[in-house]
C-alpha cells in the first residue's frame, strides 16, 4: 500500500488510504469548481441492466464468526471486472462542504450511466446525509448498488494513513448508522457489503463486525485516483492491473479525486475492446 501521510495532511484525511495515490503524482492543489448539482436521472431510452438478485451473494463467516473478506472474483475463462467507487466524507467535514468543497461527483455517475457501466458505490453515512438526492438517485438506479463504507470514515484499526480511529465499542454502530443514513436518503439497492476506511482491518475488527452479517469487500486493483492529477496515469495503472475477476477501487469524491471521470472515460472502452464485461460486486461475488 502506498504511503499517503503527507497527502492526508493536505486534504484532511477524507480519502487517506482509500485508493492510494499513483507514485509520483502530485496532490490536487484545491477543490474543483464544478457544479454540485445532483446527478441527472438515467435517460428513459437507456436499456436497464439485468436486475440484481433479491438476495445478493455473500461469503460464509470465517472461523469463530470472523467477518469474511472478498478481494476478487474467480479467475475463470469469462472476462469480467467490477468497478467500485468510494463515496468518502468524514464525520467532521461538514464545514468544508458548507464552504463549497465537493465530496460528490455527479459527473462521474452521469458518465457511468452514459457508458452503461454497472458499478458498486461504497458510501459513508455522512456522505449520504450531505447528498441525499444523489444517494437516492444512485440507490434507486438498477445500474448501481450501494455498499457500506462506515458512517464517519474513521479507521477501524491503527495505523491507517493518519485517519482518526473509531472506538472499539463503536465499530458495530458505525456500520448500523451508515446503513440507516443510506436508507433514510431513499436508497433501495443496498447490499450487505462493507468496505473498511483505508482498507485497514485486523482479526479483532473482523470479529467485532461478525454479528452485523456483512461481507468485507477489498480489491485487487488500486486505481491510484485519490489525489491524482494525471488521468492518463490512473487509467494506465488500472489497465495494467486488471485480470479476469478483478475488483478495482476508485473514488466518487471530486475534491480529492478530480480526474476519476476522465480516467474511466479511457478505461471503459479499452477494457471492452479487450473483451471484458463490467459487473457489480454482487455478480462478481456470485461467480
The reported pLDDT for the residue numbered 201 is 97
The reported pLDDT for the residue numbered 18 is 55
The reported pLDDT for the residue numbered 78 is 86
The reported pLDDT for the residue numbered 76 is 79
SS (H, E, C) the chain: CCCCHHHHHHHCCCCCCCCCCCCCCCCCCCCCCCCCCCCCCCCCCCCCCCCCCCCCCCCCCCHHHCCCEECCCCCCCCCEEEEEEEECCCCCCHHHHHCCCCCCCHHHHHHHHHHCCCEEEEECHHHHHHCHHHHHHHHCCCCEEEEECCCCCCECCCCCCCCCECCHHHHHHHHHHHHHHHHHCCCCCEEEEECCHHHCCCHHHHHHHHHHCCEEECCCEECCCCCCCCHHHHHHHHHHHCCCCEEEEEECCCCCCCCHHHHHHHHHHHHHHCCCEEECHHHHHHC
pTM strictly above 0.85: no
The reported pLDDT for the residue numbered 75 is 83
pLDDT per residue as tens, the chain (287 positions) = 333 333 333 333 445 445 444 433 433 333 333 333 444 444 444 444 444 446 999 999 999 999 999 999 998 778 999 999 999 999 999 999 999 999 999 999 999 999 999 999 999 999 999 999 999 999 999 999 999 999 999 999 999 999 999 998 999 999 999 999 999 999 999 999 999 999 999 999 999 999 999 999 999 999 999 999 999 999 999 999 999 999 999 999 999 999 999 999 999 999 999 999 999 999 999 98
Amino acid at each position: 500500500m502506498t504511503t499517503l501521510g503527507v497527502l492526508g495532511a493536505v486534504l484532511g484525511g477524507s480519502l487517506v488510504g482509500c485508493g492510494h495515490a499513483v507514485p509520483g503524482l502530485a496532490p490536487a492543489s484545491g477543490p474543483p469548481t464544478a457544479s454540485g448539482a445532483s446527478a441527472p436521472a438515467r435517460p428513459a431510452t437507456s436499456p436497464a441492466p439485468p436486475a440484481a438478485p433479491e438476495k445478493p451473494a455473500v461469503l460464509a463467516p470465517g472461523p469463530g464468526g470472523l467477518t469474511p473478506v472478498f478481494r476478487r472474483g474467480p479467475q475463470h475463462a469469462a472476462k469480467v471486472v467490477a468497478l467500485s467507487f468510494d463515496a468518502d466524507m468524514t464525520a467532521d467535514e461538514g464545514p468544508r462542504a458548507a464552504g463549497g468543497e465537493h465530496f460528490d461527483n455527479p459527473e462521474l455517475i452521469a458518465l457511468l450511466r452514459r457508458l452503461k457501466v454497472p458499478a458498486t458505490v461504497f458510501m459513508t453515512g455522512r456522505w449520504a446525509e450531505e447528498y441525499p438526492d444523489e444517494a437516492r438517485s444512485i440507490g434507486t438506479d438498477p445500474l448501481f448498488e450501494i455498499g457500506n463504507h462506515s458512517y464517519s470514515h474513521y479507521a477501524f484499526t491503527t495505523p491507517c494513513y493518519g485517519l482518526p480511529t473509531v472506538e472499539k465499542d463503536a465499530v458495530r454502530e458505525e456500520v448500523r448508522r451508515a446503513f440507516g443514513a443510506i436508507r433514510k436518503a431513499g436508497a433501495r439497492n443496498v447490499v450487505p457489503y462493507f468496505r473498511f476506511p483505508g482498507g485497514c482491518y485486523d482479526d479483532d475488527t473482523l470479529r467485532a463486525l461478525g454479528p452485523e452479517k456483512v461481507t468485507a469487500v477489498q480489491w485487487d486493483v488500486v486505481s491510484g485516483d485519490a489525489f491524482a492529477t494525471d488521468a492518463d496515469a490512473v487509467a494506465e495503472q488500472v489497465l495494467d492491473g486488471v485480470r479476469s475477476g478483478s475488483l478495482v477501487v476508485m473514488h466518487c469524491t471530486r475534491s480529492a479525486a478530480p480526474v476519476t471521470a476522465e480516467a474511466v472515460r479511457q478505461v471503459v472502452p479499452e477494457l471492452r475492446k479487450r473483451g471484458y464485461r463490467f459487473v457489480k460486486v454482487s455478480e462478481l461475488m456470485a461467480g
